[in-house]
Amino acid sequence: MNMDFPLILVVLTAASGLLWLADGLLLAPRRQRALAQLQSDFPLREEAGSPHQQEYRRRRRQAGNEPLVVEYAKSLFPVFLLVLLLRSFLVEPFQIPSRSMVPTLDTGDYILVNKYTYGLRLPVLRTRVLAINSPQRGDVMVFFPPHKNDTYFIKRVIGLPGDTVRYTGKKLFVNEIEYTQQLLAQLPPSRPRYQINREQVSGIEHQVRTDLLRPGRDFTVTVKPGHYFMMGDNRDDSQDSRYWGQVRERDIVGKAFAVWMHWDEFFSLPSFQHVRWIK
């Protein structure tokens, strides 16, 4: 079961903020009244050597101390709020969990996702409150797929609403315009299994990988209004719109724009040698 981190963050922010507010409205005035009463009960509290002085100080500490939970709430609320605003409306980090975007992205890549380029959305509810831009063909986009609506996926935008997408003989056509490919390499060179091509999608050049030993899955589909057709760059090893359908506009998360770290596994060292922009 995947943790819904945005929901957890919203709950923590709301809970800490409400505790701080409740303390300010209810508990803090009680503490002030208790301190005022102590001052009245110990009129000699300021006289050196007065028997009232030590007892007054002890009771003042007891009456004036904030509950521990309130202290934590006041300390953590600004942190939770800042993280919530950054992740919801500016930039959010993600880890690539699979090889479906090879050779563009590999397992263990840590990427940054622009959360505002496609419009501002409310966390958890996903409602867009401010429209800015729309996804374009060739964008690398993070979203919630229709079959796993609580899991982040990342693929490349191939079809926009109203487009006709056709895939024949491992060649891609959108509205009957072929996305041209240029052979870059065959791997391994001795007995080729994979082919790396440079593909151009609406002026955006990127690399794709095909499996020479796996037959292509030909199809033709028209993209529904308010939906997007997504495909992985690892064309023969990607679960994408060919299998689970088109992505709704409301399930868009943001546009991936940079790789900032690579970390293969927990017991290995992170690497910053492949920091780059995503194309």
Whether the Cβ atoms of residue 153 and residue 144 lie closer than 8 Å to each other: yes
Q: Please state, in angstroms and rounded to a whole number, the distance separating the CA atoms of residues 139 and 71.
A: 45
Of the residues 100, 115, 170, 238, only one is catalytic, namely 100
Of the residues 115, 155, 170, 255, only one is catalytic, namely 155
Active site residue 155: yes
- Which element (helix H / strand E) includes 185? strand 181-187
Q: Using CB atoms within 10 A of its CB, is residue 219 exposed (0-12), middle (13-18) or buried (19+)?
A: exposed
The full length of the chain comes to 279
Whether the Cβ atoms of residue 95 and residue 110 lie closer than 8 Å to each other: yes
Whether the Cβ atoms of residue 221 and residue 165 lie closer than 8 Å to each other: yes
Active site residue 75: no
Q: Which residues are catalytic?
A: 100, 155
